[in-house]
Amino acid sequence: MRAKGTGWKVSLSIVVGVLILALVLHFVGWRETLAEMGSLGIVGLLAVLGNIAASMALWMLSWWAILNAYGVRLPLRVMVGARLAGYAVSYLTPTLYFGGEPIRAMLVVGSSDAPATRIAASIIVERFLGGLSMILFVLIGGFFALTSPAIAAPERRLLAGVIGFVTFWVLIGFINFAGNFKWISRLIRCMGRLMARWKGPLERAAAKVSETEDEVSHAFSKHSRATLLAFLLQIAATCFVYTRPQFFFFFSGVQFTFPQLSLLFAFTLMLSFFLWITPGGLGTSEAGLVGAFVLVRPGLTSASVVAYALVFKFFEAIFVVLGMIYLARRGIQYLSGRRSSEKSR
């Protein structure tokens, strides 16, 4: 019943996303949107694909650097497949940048002798460094947004609140992990003392979380050089995401200034967190991006902005499909192995 209910929710969200996208295309003009997409040409399409592939490769290299520092040796296909599968799940669930981490961990645990807590720590560190790199660029964008007269006061206050909220929790996480204060495991133990019925399970969970916190802390103490390398790779990956508008609109003769790119990155990140409510942000992200681009670069047509969103989404879908194929193959292998072991009994 639970799976059936989940299936209905996913189906409904897809239908809602398609309807929103259809409405967006109706208002901006689907012919104009297709014309904007076609105007890129082969070179422009390859540039967009290269931008996405480069950011994906840098994310993988960042995780590989952390895994290597922790002494976790994985076959290349497993590391790449697990990263793609995690990306695919995150892409298809609410909020673009998080959601697929448990899937990634499960895919790797069976392919390595390393403790599960160490593998989980490598993923936490990689995602945390990714968050830090995004915050770095968002702060730059936020500075320009908060000082820009083109943006209304309510939007500036909203942006300031979001940036402050996210920055606060990222800094809290950094202090906790770098200082190994174990605030998360302490909170779980405190919950166990308050809820006597769940004290045993929560104590066991706290012990595992504490072990993971120790492993994460090692990234900032024992493995600081590898962590710095991974962080630099994350910054490079974020830079490709940051310059996406320039990669697309360059072939239309449109140039963006540094403040404009910073503003667009900050707004896009907000949209990815709060409007990514359908699989792949279908419909909702396109509508939100039109508003963001109108604020930052009023001269652009709505059709060109929707074309920008759809072209990037099309090429991102290639990596999503690859991740889902890998996930399906691993699932089939697991089920086949389970059936074989049951027959041997």
Please state, in angstroms and rounded to a whole number, the distance separating the CA atoms of residues 29 and 303.
7
Q: For the CA atoms of the chain, what is the radius of gyration?
A: 22
Reported as a single tens digit per residue, the pLDDT across 231-244 is 999 999 999 999 99
Question: What was the pLDDT predicted at 96?
Answer: 59
Domain count, the chain: 1
Among 47-56, 70-79, 82-91, 154-163, the range with the most confident prediction by mean pLDDT is 47-56
Nearest to 64 by CA among 46, 76, 55, 56: 76
Nearest to 134 by CA among 210, 65, 234: 234
Owning domain of residue 154:
2-180+221-344
Tokens of 179: 């200082």
Confidence band, pLDDT 50/70/90 cuts, at residue 48: very high
Whole-model pTM: value is: 0.85
- In a domain? residue 77: yes
- In a domain? residue 192: no
Confidence band, pLDDT 50/70/90 cuts, at residue 337: low
- In a domain? residue 107: yes
- In a domain? residue 291: yes
Nearest to 48 by CA among 323, 293, 307: 307
Mean predicted lDDT score pLDDT of the chain: 84
Which of the two residues, 8 and 85, has the higher pLDDT score? Answer: 85
- In a domain? residue 210: no
- In a domain? residue 82: yes
